[in-house]
Amino acid sequence: MQISELAGRAGVTVKAVRYYEQLGLVAPDRLPNGYRDYGDEQLRAVLEIRELAQTGIPPGKAAPFIDCLGSGHSRSDECPASVAAYREGIAELDAAIADLERRRAQLARRLAERDDSIPSPALGCGCDVTAS
């Protein structure tokens, strides 16, 4: 199938398919005229990349899953490298959540410190800036 058909069947753009090729995740055959020729294996890979992206695993980190499919497994997460990628993704999320919680605590602390020290607008604080 041509790239436009693959993209349509997988629910992605042609640009996305080309990006997956650049990453080495999809490797179509070439016809004698130089056109790319995609098969069911590439369709399955693109569908898997799309599904992984929906769970938070970006295409740049999808290689272990696509390699697992390419080695004959029925699921992309049946290989140790895929499980390791899941763990890495969870660790990255945990770090991001911890960072957000730290930042939230800082903001809450700063707000609490200011709430008591700022006069109400009715009393006038001498500021021209108002909350939006």
pLDDT over threshold 90, residue 124? no
37 compared with 131, residue with greater pLDDT = 37
pLDDT tens readout for residues 22-38: 999 999 999 999 889 99
Amino acid in the structure at residue 4: S
Whether the CB-CB separation of 44 and 6 falls below 8 Å is answered with no
Q: Which residues pair with 36 in a beta bridge?
A: 30
pLDDT over threshold 80, residue 128? no
Q: What angle do CA 3, 7, 13 make, to 5 degrees?
A: 105
Q: What are phi and psi of 51, to 5 degrees?
A: -65, -40
Task: Determine the pLDDT at residue 131.
Answer: 58
Task: Determine the pLDDT at residue 114.
Answer: 81
* b (16+ CB within 10 A) / e for 99-116: eeeeeeeeeeeeeeeeee
Task: Determine the pLDDT at residue 113.
Answer: 85
Provide the mean pLDDT of the chain: 91
Within 13 Å and on the Cβ side, how many CA atoms surround 101? 6
Task: Determine the pLDDT at residue 39.
Answer: 95
